[in-house]
Amino acid sequence: MPGHSRQPTGPGRASPWRLGGLSLRQFARDLHAGIAEDEILDRAAALSYYFLLALFPTLLFLTALLGLLPGSGLMEQLLGYGDQVLPPDAASLLARTLAEVERGANRGLLSLGAIGILWAASRGIRSLIVALNVVYDVPAARPWWRRQLVAMVLTVALGVFTVGALLLLGFGQRIGQAVAAWTGIGAQFTAVWAVAQWPLAIALGIVGLDLAYYLAPAARPRWAWITPGAVVAVVGWLVMALGLRAYVNHFADYNATYGSIGAVIVLMLWLYLSGASVLLGGEVNAVIARAERNR
């Protein structure tokens, strides 16, 4: 298959935004071939299971963590942001389940949230590592202990980026006001910051994905702060989330078809498409890396 040889990626100096010298048509052809050969959609289904497994321990742990920070209602504000990208049934399911878990939780359960999130999320990261090894055409050559170590490091690192983005969204207005007061810039900075906090949160997501694309494959790709794959993954995820929300709102009634489990099916579909977006970004970077290597 053109442009899809089974060799590990190597270092390079050309900008990844040059697409490895490929024309847009060649790039689209190789990307389509890679998606089919690497079974991206099937592997996204496996990721969605681990995402679901990690979702509620993550929310429970975040609830306990954010409860230690000043300001009330921060978790509700963050769930409100989730309402904007999740279909209503899925968002309602998250809120109800989290409330039920919180009511039945004790201090010991909350303290175990960190262990639960590390275990469940690291399982998802290990599944992501396997998928990206296939995407980057490299064998799983790492020893067992190193795979576990990479999974744990990526779990913690991605958790830091995620919490940073959430805190930026949740505390963005207060951060802007504090910086404006400290520097004496005034209301103009606060107004600019109210808009800038969103691109900054998205940038954190892009860099976090680039870190995953860099560390997860057994053969190390070239590092770049912002890669086409990470941008495609984030933009694709936003388009997917908003598109699925509009589709469920206006065209599909999953509750009428599946009854009370309709919300669960919608949430699983959302997680599945999220996993597909992440793997699509990895495939984009892998196509570019192969083109650079074969030049």
Q: What is the CA radius of gyration of the chain?
A: 20
Q: Which residue type does 241 have?
A: A
pLDDT band at 127 (very low <50, low <70, confident <90, very high): confident
Measured between alpha carbons, how far is 72 from 35 in angstroms, rounded to an integer? 45
Q: Is the pLDDT of residue 1 over 70?
A: no
Query: What digits encode the pLDDT tens for the residues 190-228?
Result: 667 667 777 888 888 888 899 989 988 887 777 888 899
Measured between alpha carbons, how far is 76 from 67 in angstroms, rounded to an integer? 11
Q: Is the pLDDT of residue 109 over 60?
A: no
The answer to whether 48 and 265 have CB atoms below 8 angstroms apart is: no
The predicted structure's pLDDT at residue 27:
93
The predicted structure's pLDDT at residue 31:
94
Burial class (CB in 10 A: 0-12, 13-18, 19+), 29: middle
101: closest CA among 160, 93, 78? 93
The string of DSSP letters for 226-239 reads S-HHHHHHHHHHHH
The predicted structure's pLDDT at residue 228:
94
Q: Is the pLDDT of residue 229 over 90?
A: yes
Which one has a higher pLDDT value, 276 or 260?
276
pLDDT band at 105 (very low <50, low <70, confident <90, very high): low
User: Which of 6-15, 67-76, 284-293 has the highest average model confidence (pLDDT)?
Assistant: 284-293
The string of DSSP letters for 156-223 reads HHHHHHHHHHHHHHHHHHHHHHHHHHHHT--HHHHHHHHHHHHHHHHHHHHHHHHHHHHHSSSS----
The predicted structure's pLDDT at residue 26:
92
The predicted structure's pLDDT at residue 176:
65
How many residues in total does the chain contain?
A: 295
Percent of the chain with pLDDT over 70: 66
Query: What digits encode the pLDDT tens for the residues 12-46?
Result: 467 888 888 888 999 999 999 999 998 999 999 98
The predicted structure's pLDDT at residue 28:
94
The answer to whether 293 and 10 have CB atoms below 8 angstroms apart is: yes
Q: Is the pLDDT of residue 5 over 60?
A: no
Measured between alpha carbons, how far is 66 from 73 in angstroms, rounded to an integer? 9
Q: Is the pLDDT of residue 270 over 70?
A: yes
Which one has a higher pLDDT value, 17 or 233?
233
Q: Where are the domains of the chain?
A: 22-293
Question: Angle of helix 262-293 relative to helix 187-215, nearest 10 degrees?
Answer: 70
Q: Quickly count helices (H) and strands (E) in the chain.
A: 10, 0
Q: Which residue type does 180 have?
A: A
Q: Which residue type does 152 have?
A: M
